[in-house]
Homo-oligomer: A and B are copies of this chain.
Amino acid sequence: MKLTILGCYAATPRTFTNPTAQVLEIKNRLFLIDCGEGTQVQLRKNKIKFSKINHIFISHLHGDHFFGLIGLISTFSLLGRTTKLHIYGPMGIKEIILLQLRLSNSWPNFELIFQELTNKESELILEDDKVKVQTIPLKHRIYTNGFLFEEKEGDRKLNIEAVNKYQIDTCYYLKIKKGGDITLDNGTVIKNEELSFPGIQPKSYAFCSDTIFNETIIPNIKKVFALYHESTFLQTEAELAKKTFHSTASEAATIAAKAQVSYLILGHYSTRYENISLFKEEAQRVFENVLLAEDGKVFDFDALQ
């Protein structure tokens, strides 16, 4: 599981800072989370293949989280895309996109499948053999969801030495990788544990932005591997955070600690701060494993322990 930050700043795009967008790679699939203005250019700069993005998740309908979506869809179309595109986002997202496509008389050659969200409880919105995605209802000025991505248990790794020792035919290898035991010709059953090693530990990632400090999300994100929690402000602006339904670095760290996550990634910084290392310092007074999102930064979760 690998996370590429395309943009992690609040409010407006600027010369050197981009609004929210990130790409989560799970087993060679790319999930785009939020899509602020300029996301398509950030995708190009970070050399991410447009054709591999089939699922886009929009947290809420504030501009810094979705104004780049219509442009990205149009570019997909100009590039000749034919593969279906799934878009998950608040009720209204479909109307916004379809209105603009209609008025520009530019219908894409691929199917757009909208899943419009209205539920105030967490719900499962995508599941296949490799991943499960659920919403995390957040508290912001308008209807907002975070998203929890859970990688499913992958194949076990073949213990070549043991497999050779029992002279097991290659046609059984897949069965072994899937966790199956093997019965030899003489009737002896060899337990899977003897023939394989555990695969890569499945990882989980929770994206929570934008939100006020809200402990009710803790059960939804309990023990996730990496939590991206917005920290628009520092504790010196705690009142402003509350008033605008945003969080401080310290509050994000409190959520991380209570949810017992492995890593906390901070982002959605207000552009009023020149030095984002202050966010890390503040958060680390509450929770140790703090990482700072930065535009263009890549977090390889499998390389972290």
A residues with CB within 8 A of B: 11-15, 37-38, 40-41, 44-45, 61-63, 67-68, 70-71, 74-75, 78, 90, 92, 95-96, 99-100, 103-106, 141-142
- Determine which of B61, B70, B75, B105 lies in contact with A142 in the assembled complex, contact meaning CB atoms within 8 Å: B105
Residue of B nearest to A11 (CB): B78
A/B interface sample: 13 pairs, CB < 8 A = A11-B75, A13-B41, A14-B44, A15-B41, A37-B40, A37-B71, A61-B100, A61-B103, A61-B104, A96-B100, A96-B103, A99-B99, A104-B142
Q: Are B96 and A63 in contact (CB under 8 A)?
A: no
A15 to B48: give the CA distance in the assembly, Å. Answer: 13
The 3 closest A-B pairs by CB, nearest first: A92-B103, A63-B74, A12-B75
A104 to B60: give the CA distance in the assembly, Å. Answer: 8
- Determine which of B41, B61, B95, B104 lies in contact with A62 in the assembled complex, contact meaning CB atoms within 8 Å: B104
Q: Which residues of B contact A12 (CB under 8 A)?
A: 40, 71, 74-75, 78
Q: Are A70 and B71 in contact (CB under 8 A)?
A: no
Q: Which residues of B contact A40 (CB under 8 A)?
A: 12-13, 37
A71 to B75: give the CA distance in the assembly, Å. Answer: 18
A38 to B72: give the CA distance in the assembly, Å. Answer: 12
Residue of B nearest to A70 (CB): B67
User: Taking A12-B75, A62-B106 as contacts, is the C-beta distance between A37 and B68 under 8 angstroms?
Assistant: yes
Residue of B nearest to A60 (CB): B104
A67 to B11: give the CA distance in the assembly, Å. Answer: 17
Q: Are B100 and A63 in contact (CB under 8 A)?
A: yes
Residue of B nearest to A93 (CB): B103
- Nearest CB in chain B: distance from A71 CB, A: 4
A219 to B90: give the CA distance in the assembly, Å. Answer: 49
A100 to B95: give the CA distance in the assembly, Å. Answer: 9
Q: Are A105 and B141 in contact (CB under 8 A)?
A: yes
Q: Which residues of B contact A70 (CB under 8 A)?
A: 63, 67
Residue of B nearest to A100 (CB): B96
User: Taking A92-B103, A95-B99 as contacts, is the C-beta distance between A38 and B13 under 8 angstroms?
Assistant: yes
- Nearest CB in chain B: distance from A40 CB, A: 6
- Nearest CB in chain B: distance from A33 CB, A: 18
A61 to B96: give the CA distance in the assembly, Å. Answer: 14
Q: Which residues of B contact A106 (CB under 8 A)?
A: 62-63
Q: Which residues of B contact A105 (CB under 8 A)?
A: 141-142
What 20 new A-B contacts, CB under 8 Å, besides A14-B41, A95-B103?
A11-B75, A11-B78, A12-B40, A12-B71, A12-B75, A12-B78, A13-B38, A13-B41, A15-B41, A61-B100, A61-B103, A63-B70, A63-B74, A63-B100, A63-B106, A67-B70, A67-B71, A67-B74, A95-B99, A96-B99
